[in-house]
Amino acid sequence: MTTRRKFITTAGVAGAAALAAPSQIQAATKIKWRLQTYSGAPLGAHVIKPQIEAFNKAANGEMEIELYYADELVPTSELFRAMQSGTLDAVQSDDATMASPVDISDFGGYFPFSTRYSLDLPVLFERYGLNEIWAEAYGEVENVTWLGAGAWDPLHIFTVDKPIRSLADMAGLRVFGVPTAGRFLARYGLIPVTVPWEDVEVAMQTGELDGVAWCGFTEAYEVGWADICNYALLNNVTGAWCGSYFANSESWAKVPAHLQELFKISMDQSHYYRQVWYWGGEADLRVNGNKMELTSIPQEEWNTVVTDAEDFWDELASRSPRAAKVIDIFKKYTEVMEKAGVPYRYG
């Protein structure tokens, strides 16, 4: 009996250890990622934090993503290289802001008049071939995998104490903004200035910046810039920011297929969240927001800006055959939308 009791006790301990082993092994082999976004914490609370929290919960201990905001680990301008080298496992940004070394990087962020509404962007990627072009371009870059793009808010110009009511009013204004749109607007005298995202608010308070050309109304109110800017220009340069998710290829290859799929599903959920958050916010804050005076450039004068964008498009198309293909898609899409009319285009 003593021997039997000892066997049962020993077997019970061994069995318990065996049952515990899977979780111990799981914990020991849990995949950990570091992902940095282009956005500061106030904005990141909407554009990425819900997704990362949902993914970590659904991954059930198999994988955990540590989220870092703008410039926390590396400067935004170094995001691409840091990811490529493995300092970061993943990045959320637009191609232009993080200086991607691909011939379609100028189309990330805000490309002038390429979209009218936020829904235009995912349609361009899913139905007009931009998915394949982006995958092809990044497929030529060592150790970086492009995972997908989504739409953010439209681009408006917000200024501290100098209202814009004509193109001439842009001359000399120093604004924080995204590269491609900034380069386009520079032809009207606007001066793009680059500072760390977290320093924008102080730079406007001290006069280093006259405003921002970085976002729409939802974002300006959310991050506090609407508390400093007194004027908001209703004429928008484009209807949606084009942002993407990227991963270090070696890090991505180590992720099991089911967790890769889970991450992509969480990306899609994040895209949907932003579509609703931005779309609803833009309308509500233009009507009910009371922090900024709304100004506009007369339509006849603004039409010259739209026309100027055609030359800008052709300039970008001349850079490479692939860039020309993107411009052809933009032109085809614009033509289809204009012919379709209401509700796709209203004049």
Over the stretch 249-304, which tens digit does the pLDDT of each residue have? Answer: 999 999 999 999 999 999 999 999 999 999 999 999 999 999 999 999 999 999 99
Identify the weakest region by mean pLDDT among 19-33, 202-216, 218-232.
19-33
Q: How high is the mean pLDDT of the chain?
A: 92
User: Where does residue 38 rank: exposed (0-12), middle (13-18), buried (19+ CB within 10 A)?
Assistant: buried
User: Average pLDDT, stretch 170-185?
Assistant: 94
Reply yes or no on whether the pLDDT at 18 is more than 70. Answer: no
Give the separation between CA 258 and CA 256, rounded to whole angstroms.
6
Mean pLDDT score, 230-238? 97
pLDDT at position 333 is 98
Pairing of strands 63-68, 31-37: parallel
2: confidence class by pLDDT, cuts 50, 70, 90: very low
Q: How far apart are CA 65 and CA 251, in angstroms?
A: 12
> Helix, strand, or coil here: 339?
helix
Pairing state of beta strands 90-93 and 31-37? Answer: parallel
State pTM to two decimals.
0.89
The one-letter amino acid at 126: E
Alpha-carbon gap, residue 175 to 120, rounded angstroms: 26
- Return the pLDDT at 11: 46
| pLDDT tens-place string over residues 293-304 | 999 999 999 999
CATH of domain 156-239+290-340: 3.40.190.170
Band the pLDDT of 30: cuts 50, 70, 90: very high
- The full set of domain ranges for the chain reads 31-151+240-283, 156-239+290-340
| 31-151+240-283 classified as CATH 3.30.565.10 | no
- Segment 39-59 shows an average pLDDT of 97
The neighbouring-strand residues paired with 91 are 36, 246
The percent of residues in the chain predicted with pLDDT above 70, rounded, is: 92
Closest CA to 245 of 34, 37, 32, 105: 37
Report the C-alpha gap between 288 and 290 in whole angstroms.
6
242-248/144-151 β-pairing: antiparallel
